[in-house]
Amino acid sequence: MAEQKLRGKTALITGAGRGIGKGIAIAFAREGARLILTSRTPEELVEAAAECIEAGALEAITCPADLSDESQLLELFEFARARFESLDLLVNNAGAFDGGPLDELSTEAWDKVMNLNVRAPFLCTREALKWMKPKQSGRIINLGSIAGSRVRPESAAYSASKHAIWGLTQVTALEGREYGVTCCCLKPGNIAVERRMNSGNPIDDEPMIAIEDIAEVALLMATLPPTALMLEATVLPHRQLYVGRG
């Protein structure tokens, strides 16, 4: 039996109750990781944790939190520190989408997306670095999007947030370099997540790839030697319009 690549490693995954976050959690579980799973929905987290244990996780604990609330985010990290000596991996996956024409986009919609897609990963990264830097090791994986470089109409908040995540990734990689901390950005295209199934939106009739496909790339990022960094990876259906959106 092959050795599990993440055996004994501790990973905190945000937005882990479903979709890409859950898929990444299960992929990490198969490689023997210890998992801290967080999202806003306790019931989904319990189910995800059970699936992770069944898949081979050394441990899978849950801590529900709304990461747009800084106090809840800080409590999450306090909870994690009380349980584990180190944090080897942080996956900033939790996110939100809201859109519409720019001249109709509300400040509330803009703030909702930016708070969860940019502010929360910044805060998680800040707290993780406080933990990782003294240990001289750690890896952070940020979920970006092809929307960060190839935008669609009526996606101002989401596209801007994913541009910002790419910038945050590069600064984190730069500042973490001398401390043995690396940072990657995984940029998916169309993924067959729950909210896109039978949505009625014409965009969701475009080619899709499975959650498991993107999770495998996240696992590759996580299991590279500490001396190697996959700074960014774009993964999309080969038939999806992307280059020039055509």
Residues that are catalytic: 158
Quickly tell me which residue has 């800040």 as its tokens.
126
Q: How far apart are CA 246 and CA 242, in angstroms?
A: 6
Q: How far apart are CA 77 and CA 66, in angstroms?
A: 13
Q: Do the beta carbons of residue 171 and residue 154 sit within 8 Å?
A: no
CA 150 to chain CA centroid, nearest Å: 20
- In this structure, is the dihedral angle defined by the CA atoms of residues 194, 32, 188 and 175, taken in order, positive or negative? positive
Which tokens sit at 87? 């944090």
- In this structure, is the dihedral angle defined by the CA atoms of residues 219, 136, 39 and 42, taken in order, positive or negative? positive
Q: How far apart are CA 182 and CA 104, in angstroms?
A: 39
Amino acid at 48: A
Q: Phi and psi (nearest 5°) for 234?
A: -105, 125
Q: How far apart are CA 31 and CA 56, in angstroms?
A: 7
Query: Contacts by 144-147 with C-beta closer than 8 Å and gap 24+?
Result: 144/169, 144/185, 144/186, 144/187, 144/188, 144/232, 145/187, 145/188, 145/189, 146/187, 146/188, 146/189, 146/234, 146/236, 146/242
